[in-house]
Amino acid sequence: MNHPSGDPGGAPRPAGRGASRPASRHGTKTAAPAHGAPTFAPLYRQIQALLMRSLQEGEWKPGEAIPSETELAARFRVSQGTVRKAIDELAAGHMLVRRQGRGTFVASHHEVRTQFRFLRIRPDEPAGGGAYAAMPMTSHILDCRRLRAPVEIARLLQLRTGETVIQIRRMLEADGRPEVLDEIWLPGARFRGLSAERLAAYSGPLYGLFEAEFGTRMIRATERLKAIAADAALARELDVAPGSPLLLVERLTYTYEDRPVELRRGYSVTTNHHYYNELI
Q: How many residues bind DNA (CB under 7 A)?
A: 36
CB 172 within 8 A of CB 138: yes
Give 89 or 223: the residue with its C-beta nearer to DNA: 89
35 in contact with a second copy (CB under 8 A) = no
Nearer to a second copy, 144 or 184 (CB): 184
How far is 79 from 152, CA to CA, in rounded Å? 48
Residue closer to a second copy, measured from CB, 4 or 67: 4
Helices 80-92, 69-76: axis angle to 10 degrees equals: 120
Which span (117-125, 169-177, 203-211, 256-264) binds a second copy, by CB under 8 A?
A: 117-125
Q: Which does 280 bind (CB under 5 to 8 A by kind): a second copy, DNA, none?
A: a second copy
Nearest to 199 by CA among 191, 176, 238: 191
Phi and psi angles of residue 50, each rounded to the nearest 5 degrees, phi first = -65, -40
In three-state secondary structure terms, 61 is coil
* In the complex, minimum distance from the CB of residue 27 to DNA, in angstroms, rounded to a whole number: 4
Q: Is 10 in the site for DNA (CB under 7 A)?
A: yes
Distance CA 193, CA 29 (A): 45
CB–CB of 60/66 below 8 Å? Answer: yes
Q: Candidates 60, 74, 80, 190: give the one binding DNA (CB under 7 A).
A: 80
Q: Which of residues 83-142 bind DNA (CB under 7 A)?
A: 84-85, 98-104
Beta-carbon-side half-sphere exposure of residue 51 (alpha carbons within 13 Å) = 30
Out of a second copy, DNA, none, what residue 258 binds, judged by CB under 5 to 8 A for its kind, is none
CA distance 209 to 196: 13
Binding site for DNA (CB under 7 A): 1, 4-8, 10, 25-27, 29, 37, 40, 42-45, 66, 68-71, 78-82, 84-85, 98-104
